[in-house]
A and B are shown apart, each in its own frame.
Chain A
Amino acid sequence: MYSNPVKSLLLAAVLFLITAPVFGHGARVTWEILGDSVHISASFDDGQPMDSAQVTVFSGAAPTVPYILGITDDYGEFAFVPDREESLNWDVQVRKAGHGNIVHVSLAEDSIADNEQDRFTTLQLVLMSVCVVWGFVGTAFFFASKRKRYDAHT
């Protein structure tokens, strides 16, 4: 039986999607430093932005006392300028309609670098790159096999 590499690759991708971790409903909150400010982005697990969500910012110097209160914009985003003399550690809680999450923001240089890399680990980045290359290889085999069959036929 002839096995098409492209079909095999697609099957593998489907298998991956079936076995990948599934997250229930919930809230995702990410942060990044832009200039002097901390930008917060909040969304539900389905990707919808948490617009008009309640935001509470806590300083590491007094972590149980709200330091800033606010709400997210239509895109689920919120920004604040932390007082670095107050603390280099901040917690930001975002809540809406029974969903919520809290993230720790560290203004220490190494933590900022860690956060930048937080979306994917080095291992993940390398392997994802390899996957993309294999995708091209599979496609090349597909066309190569078609050409071979065409040449044999003619």
Chain B
Amino acid sequence: MRRMAIILTTMLVLSMTAVSCGREEADQAGQEITDENIQEDTGELRITANGEDFVRSGFVSLDGWHITFRHLYVTITDIAAYKTDPPYDPHSGSVIVGNTLVELNGVFTIDLAGGDENAEPIVLGTLDDVPAGHYNAISWSMVPSTEGPSEGYTIYLDAQAEKGMESYNVRLGFETGYRYSAGDFVGDVRKGFVNVGAPGELEMTFHFDHIFGDIEQPVDCDLNMMAVGFEPFAELMQEGTVEENLATLEGKLPGETYTELLEVLSTLGHTGEGHCHCTVIP
């Protein structure tokens, strides 16, 4: 009897695992690189990163702290753009397999807080002579920087947080690496179309309001429900400064808050408003 129970349980676990993996296998099966997919016409594809206006001009967190960023460094690498058919769905949880793959080589540490609220997205590079067409998926990794002010950190923010008479310097570093996979750009305009004589553009967008929330959104909206807010960080203030990283936060933040922070950090990457599939880089 016991043996039968073990067998049943094992088979059930294996089958459930297979069910969850089935979609990934299906997504990859129909997409192969063939000669007929390679197009003769070529053009330029520009790769950009954008922290959006509230990073450049500041915003008010869900718990009423006005946060302005002096610097917000992220380090990005392993950038690839794809033409996929059918279009990649980040909800599938699968890796992107495209008909066409082009890569931007290099490691880029950029300051998303640079420029004013009207600043254009930061150009990381332009790929020349890529096959024309619609690049409707992008992937990238965020890794710890090896030099400069954000050395050791994937994300490093240098900010001022103010609420009433309180004003704190904030320096937070996050060490964890992430791999993001996104589908088509979602926003006011469509992106990723490369035509002869008309460069295309793909954007990696970072939503830092996910960490602190946004007082302008309803308190019970999805964004604010998942955000940590700034108050947990404010409670760690010493001599007018909050200076922490994930290693120190793990010991100082309540366990539940620290777990929420880890979860929300994995949701920062987007393409416009389009969400990403994210995996943590061990």
Flag if B4 contacts A141 (CB, 8 Å).
yes
Flag if B20 contacts A2 (CB, 8 Å).
no
Q: Which among B22-30, B112-120, B246-254 touches the partner chain? A: B22-30
Which single member of B18, B91, B263, B273 contacts A99 (CB below 8 Å)? Answer: B273
Instruction: Specify which chain A residues have a CB less than 8 angstroms from the CB of B275 in the assembled complex.
Output: 24-27, 99, 101
| B124 contacts chain A at the CB level, 8 A cutoff | no
Number of residue pairs A-B, CB distance < 8 angstroms: 135
Flag if A98 contacts B9 (CB, 8 Å).
no
| Residues of A in contact, count (CB < 8 Å) | 52
Flag if A102 contacts B222 (CB, 8 Å).
no
| A80 contacts chain B at the CB level, 8 A cutoff | no
Flag if A141 contacts B5 (CB, 8 Å).
yes
Given the interface pairs A27-B275, A141-B5, the reply to whether A102 lies near B207 with Cβ below 8 Å is: no
**What is the CB-to-nearest-CB distance from B54 to chain A, in angstroms, rounded to a whole number?**
11
Which residues A122-154 have CB closer than 8 A to chain B? 123-124, 127-128, 130-131, 134, 137-138, 141, 145
| B58 contacts chain A at the CB level, 8 A cutoff | no
| A81 contacts chain B at the CB level, 8 A cutoff | no
| B165 contacts chain A at the CB level, 8 A cutoff | no
Flag if A58 contacts B19 (CB, 8 Å).
no
**What is the CB-to-nearest-CB distance from B265 to chain A, in angstroms, rounded to a whole number?**
10
Tell me the bound Cα distance from A64 to B133 in angstroms. Answer: 12
| B12 contacts chain A at the CB level, 8 A cutoff | yes
Flag if B6 contacts A8 (CB, 8 Å).
yes
Flag if A99 contacts B2 (CB, 8 Å).
no
Flag if B183 contacts A102 (CB, 8 Å).
yes
Contact with B along A46-64 (1 / 0, CB 8 A): 1010000000001000011
Which residues B260-275 have CB closer than 8 A to chain A? 263, 266-267, 272-275
Which single member of A44, A100, A131 contacts B12 (CB below 8 Å)? Answer: A131
Tell me the bound Cα distance from A104 to B87 in angstroms. Answer: 7
Flag if A16 contacts B6 (CB, 8 Å).
no
Given the interface pairs A8-B6, A99-B273, A138-B8, the reply to whether A123 lies near B25 with Cβ below 8 Å is: yes
Q: Would you give 19 A-B contacts (Cβ < 8 Å), ordered by A?
A: A3-B1, A8-B6, A15-B13, A16-B16, A16-B20, A19-B20, A21-B93, A24-B275, A26-B90, A99-B222, A100-B272, A102-B274, A123-B19, A124-B19, A124-B22, A127-B18, A127-B19, A128-B19, A134-B15
Closest 8 A/B residue pairs (Cβ) = A100-B273, A26-B275, A100-B186, A24-B267, A8-B9, A5-B5, A16-B16, A21-B93
